[in-house]
């Protein structure tokens, strides 16, 4: 499959989820706390996907879970992207011992498991969507920073940077017009990948009860709650699982397709 096809399929998958989430803000099949459908109703009729063990509409839950998944992805990428880019730029320009120190610190941060970091933060502040986003974003920032540091060093070694400096271009301008555009393609690919990982991380946290607290449905918690009844009402497990896979694969394929831009820039 060509990279372009990856990009298109990936974007379509992500847009399906994003579209459903947008619709959810205008219209939901049922109120999130409406339990009038009865417990564990099978799919069909008013309840397209049936109801969960508390009698809530599953499609409604799924849509709300989509909001949380996308919100986490955007929030974590924003936190991780901004912090990571800032720290990475600083480290990229640092020389000698400061640079060595930055490299070691980033490696240690990256070795620290995201979920463990999240648990520590949750232990301090209590489980919430904000905490989950913060934890995932912080872990992402370290990975982004390490990447940016290397990319910046690479770009700074190119002749056109020396040419720009000979031409008297100031450092801020060199960063804005030469460094950032040249690291952007690789950075975007990485952020798209990280977005997929963030969605998975949030689902894992919620599955463990460390993410979004009830009554807000996260796909991870839906999976956890469907566990007990997976044989009698498999849809309750399959639906959030499928949604999760769709979004994550969509983001990964998008990332893969964006590599197209990277090889363009390298040419």
Partner 1 sequence: MLTVDRLTIRNRAGRALVEDVSFSVGPGDRAGLIGESGSGKSLTALAVIGLLPPGLTATGEVRLGDTSMIKGQEKLRTRVRGKVVATVFQEPLTALDPLMPAGRQIAEPIRRFRSLRGTALRDAVHAALDEVRLTDTDRIARSYPHELSGGQRQRVAIAMALACRPQLLVADEPTTALDVTVQAEILDLLDRLVDTHGTALLFITHDLPVAARVARHTHVLREGRIVESAPIADLLARPAHPYTRTLVDSARRFDAALGRHLS
Instruction: Calculate the CA dihedral of residues 150, 151, 156, 157 and round it to 10 degrees.
Output: 70
The partner residues of 51 in beta bridges, in order of sequence, read 57
- Among the listed residues 95, 97, 172, 231, the single contact to partner 1 using CB under 8 A: 95
CB 67 within 8 A of CB 20: no
Give the helix ranges, DSSP H, for 177-228.
180-207, 219-226
- Among the listed residues 47, 149, 178, 221, the single contact to partner 1 using CB under 8 A: 178
177 touches partner 1 by CB under 8 A: yes
The token duo for 107 is 């490696």
Q: How many residues bind partner 1 (CB under 8 A)?
A: 21
Of 143 and 152, which CB lies nearer to partner 1 in the complex structure?
A: 152
Site for partner 1 in 145-164 (CB under 8 A): 157-160, 162-164
124 touches partner 1 by CB under 8 A: no
Q: What is the number of helices (H) and of strands (E) in the chain?
A: 10, 0
d(CA 24, CA 206): 21
d(CA 160, CA 149): 18
Of 104 and 176, which CB lies nearer to partner 1 in the complex structure?
A: 176
111 touches partner 1 by CB under 8 A: no
Listed ranges 64-72, 137-145, 173-181, 202-210: which one lies at the site for partner 1 (CB under 8 A): 173-181
Of 1 and 267, which CB lies nearer to partner 1 in the complex structure?
A: 267
CB 65 within 8 A of CB 225: no
End-to-end CA distance of the chain: 21
Phi, psi of 57 (to 5 degrees): -65, 130
- Among the listed residues 2, 168, 172, 231, the single contact to partner 1 using CB under 8 A: 168
Cβ 161 to partner 1 shortest distance, Å: 8
Listed ranges 81-89, 123-131, 166-174, 214-222: which one lies at the site for partner 1 (CB under 8 A): 166-174
Cβ 89 to partner 1 shortest distance, Å: 15
265 touches partner 1 by CB under 8 A: yes
266 touches partner 1 by CB under 8 A: yes
Cβ 85 to partner 1 shortest distance, Å: 17
d(CA 207, CA 14): 22
Site for partner 1 in 180-219 (CB under 8 A): 181-182
The Cα angle at residue 135 between residues 67 and 181, in degrees rounded to 5? 80
Cβ 168 to partner 1 shortest distance, Å: 5
The token duo for 150 is 């290397």
Binding stretches for partner 1 (CB under 8 A): 95-96, 157-160, 162-169, 177-178, 181-182, 265-267
């Amino acid at each position: 499959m060509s990279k372009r096809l990856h990009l298109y399929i990936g974007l379509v998958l992500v847009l399906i989820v994003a579209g459903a989430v947008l619709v959810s803000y205008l219209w939901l099949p049922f109120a999130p706390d409406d339990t009038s459908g009865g417990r564990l109703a099978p799919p069909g009729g008013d309840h397209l996907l049936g109801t969960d063990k508390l009698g809530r509409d599953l499609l409604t839950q799924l849509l709300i879970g989509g909001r949380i998944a996308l919100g986490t992805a955007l929030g974590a990428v924003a936190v991780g992207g901004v912090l990571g880019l800032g720290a990475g730029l600083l480290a990229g320009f640092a020389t000698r011992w400061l640079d060595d120190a930055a490299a070691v610190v980033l490696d240690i941060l990256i070795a620290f498991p995201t979920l463990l970091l999240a648990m520590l933060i949750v232990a301090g502040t209590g489980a919430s969507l904000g905490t989950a986003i913060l934890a995932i974003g912080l872990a992402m920032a370290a990975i982004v920073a390490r990447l940016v540091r290397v990319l910046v060093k690479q770009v700074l070694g190119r002749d056109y940077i020396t040419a720009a400096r000979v031409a008297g271009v100031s450092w801020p301008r060199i960063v804005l017009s030469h460094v950032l555009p040249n690291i952007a393609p690789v950075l975007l690919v990485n952020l798209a990948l990280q977005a997929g990982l963030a969605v998975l991380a949030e689902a894992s946290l919620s599955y463990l009860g460390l993410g979004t607290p009830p009554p807000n449905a996260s796909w991870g918690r839906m999976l956890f709650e469907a566990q007990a009844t997976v044989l009698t009402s498999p849809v309750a497990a399959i639906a959030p699982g499928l949604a999760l896979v769709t979004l994550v694969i969509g983001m990964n394929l998008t990332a893969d397709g964006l590599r197209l831009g990277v090889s363009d820039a390298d040419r």
